[in-house]
C-alpha cells in the first residue's frame, strides 16, 4: 500500500514522503480500514517536526481523523462487519491506503455525511466540545471569542458555540476568510491585524468575552488577557503562532478570570465515561444534521504535504482532506 511516512524529524517537513508499505494486520480489538478520506490537523505537522506532546520515533505515518470501509478485523471485535462504512479518530496512521486502529475509536459513518465530511469531523468537533462544554462551561447567552476562526478547529468552535446559544465573535488575519466565517454564522468578525481588544470590549459593553477559545497563542493570547470578562474562561487550545505565551498571575487575580488548558483526547483518557459521552454527543449532532463541517480542499496522497503547507500558511477555511 501507499502511505505518507515521516522517516526523519525536520522543521521543513523534508523528512516526509510517500512510501510503499505492507498492508497492516489487525491485532486483538483492532480493525484495518480501507481509507477513503483523512483530514489534516495541525498536530500532524507538529508530530513530523518533533514539536507535539506525543513523541514518535521515525518511521511513522501521521494522520488522526479517518473514514473508510472495514477491510479486516482482529479477535474480540464486535458490532462491526467487513465492508462497514466507518469513521473515527486515532493518534497516527491515517494517511495511508489502509490504516489499523482500535475498534473502540470507530463508529458507523452517518448516512447523511460523505466520507470526506466524516473524516473532517472527530478531532475538530471533539476539541470544540470539550473546550466549550467541559472546560469552558459555555452557557446560552454567553459571549464567545473564537481566535483562528477560519481553521478547522476554530470553525468547529464557531459552529458549536452557535449551537449552544452563544454570541460568537470570530477573529482572523484576512478579511476574505472572515467574510466566509461570518456567512457561516459568526455574529461579529474582527481582523486581528489591527488588534481586537477594544472592539471586543465595545461589542460586550465593556465587559469582555465570557469564554475565549485560543488555538493561536503568542500575541493573540497576550491581548486576550486584556478582554476576558470577570469570571471568564480563557481556553488554551494550542500555539499555532509558534510562541507559547505566559500570563502574569496578577492579571487573572485582579480580573477574576481562569486560564484553562484543553486536551480533548487526554480528557477522555482521564475520564473515560465523560469521554464516551463527549464522543456520543458530537456524533449525535452530526447524525441529526445540527453541525456543519466545512471542506476547504481534497487532495490525493501525493499532495499531502501541500495540504500541510496550506495549514502552515493560514490558507484554509475549514479542513483539508487527503484521499488515498
**What pTM did the predictor assign?**
0.90
How many whole angstroms separate alpha carbon 81 and alpha carbon 133? 34
Domains of the chain: 2-121+293-323 (3.90.180.10), 124-266 (3.40.50.720)
Cβ(3)–Cβ(46) under 8 Å?
Answer: no
CA atoms within 13 A on the CB side of 9: 10
The answer to whether residue 140 scores a pLDDT higher than 90 is yes
Counting residues of the chain whose pLDDT is more than 70, the rounded percentage is 100
* DSSP letters for 27-42: -TTEEEEEEEEEE--H
**Predicted confidence (pLDDT) per residue in 251-299, tens digit:** 999 999 999 999 998 999 999 999 999 999 999 999 999 999 999 999 9
**Predicted confidence (pLDDT) per residue in 183-242, tens digit:** 999 999 999 998 999 999 999 999 999 999 999 999 999 999 999 999 999 999 998 888
According to DSSP, the residues that pair with 189 across neighbouring strands are 170
Counting residues of the chain whose pLDDT is more than 90, the rounded percentage is 91
**Predicted confidence (pLDDT) per residue in 9-39, tens digit:** 999 999 999 999 999 999 999 999 999 999 9
The answer to whether residue 105 scores a pLDDT higher than 90 is no
Count helices and strands in the chain by DSSP H and E runs: 11, 15
Better-predicted residue by pLDDT, 206 or 89: 206
* Helical pair 152-163 and 175-184, crossing angle rounded to 10 deg: 30
Cβ(234)–Cβ(259) under 8 Å?
Answer: yes
According to DSSP, the residues that pair with 88 across neighbouring strands are 66, 106
Cα angle for residues 198, 242, 316 (degrees, 5° grid): 80
According to DSSP, the residues that pair with 320 across neighbouring strands are 297
How many whole angstroms separate alpha carbon 174 and alpha carbon 133? 28
For 147, phi then psi, to 5°, come to: -90, 155
Identify the pLDDT of residue 32: 97
pLDDT band for position 90 (cuts 50, 70, 90):
confident
What does the block give as the cell for 81? 462487519
Amino acid at each position: 500500500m501507499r502511505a505518507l511516512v515521516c522517516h526523519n524529524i525536520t522543521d521543513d517537513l523534508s523528512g516526509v514522503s510517500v512510501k510503499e508499505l505492507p498492508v497492516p494486520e489487525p491485532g486483538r480489538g483492532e480493525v484495518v480500514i480501507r481509507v477513503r478520506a483523512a483530514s489534516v490537523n495541525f498536530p500532524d505537522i507538529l508530530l513530523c517536526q518533533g514539536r507535539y506532546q506525543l513523541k514518535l520515533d521515525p518511521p511513522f505515518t501521521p494522520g488522526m481523523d479517518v473514514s473508510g470501509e472495514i477491510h479486516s478485523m482482529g479477535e474480540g471485535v464486535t458490532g462491526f462487519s467487513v465492508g462497514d462504512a466507518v469513521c473515527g479518530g486515532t493518534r497516527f496512521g491515517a494517511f495511508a491506503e489502509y490504516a489499523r486502529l482500535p475498534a473502540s475509536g470507530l463508529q458507523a459513518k452517518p448516512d447523511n455525511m460523505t466520507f470526506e465530511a466524516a473524516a473532517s469531523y472527530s478531532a475538530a468537533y471533539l476539541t470544540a466540545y470539550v473546550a466549550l462544554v467541559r472546560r469552558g462551561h459555555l452557557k446560552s447567552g454567553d459571549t464567545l471569542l473564537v481566535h483562528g476562526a477560519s481553521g478547522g478547529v476554530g470553525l468547529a468552535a464557531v459552529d458549536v458555540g452557535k449551537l449552544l446559544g452563544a454570541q460568537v465573535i470570530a477573529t482572523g488575519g484576512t478579511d476574505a476568510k472572515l467574510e466566509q466565517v461570518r456567512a457561516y454564522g459568526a455574529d461579529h468578525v474582527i481582523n486581528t491585524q489591527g488588534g481586537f481588544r477594544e472592539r471586543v470590549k465595545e461589542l460586550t459593553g465593556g465587559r469582555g468575552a465570557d469564554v475565549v477559545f485560543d488555538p493561536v497563542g503568542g500575541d493573540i493570547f497576550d491581548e486576550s488577557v486584556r478582554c476576558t470578562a470577570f469570571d471568564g474562561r480563557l481556553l488554551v487550545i494550542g500555539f499555532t503562532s509558534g510562541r507559547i505565551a505566559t500570563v502574569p498571575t496578577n492579571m487573572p487575580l485582579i480580573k477574576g478570570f481562569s486560564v484553562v488548558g484543553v486536551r480533548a483526547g487526554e480528557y477522555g483518557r482521564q475520564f473515560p465515561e465523560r469521554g464516551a459521552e463527549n464522543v456520543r454527543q458530537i456524533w449525535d449532532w452530526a447524525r441529526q444534521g445540527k453541525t456543519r463541517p466545512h471542506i476547504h480542499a481534497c487532495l490525493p496522497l501525493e499532495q499531502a504535504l501541500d495540504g500541510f503547507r496550506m495549514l502552515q500558511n493560514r490558507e484554509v477555511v475549514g479542513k483539508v482532506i487527503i484521499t488515498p
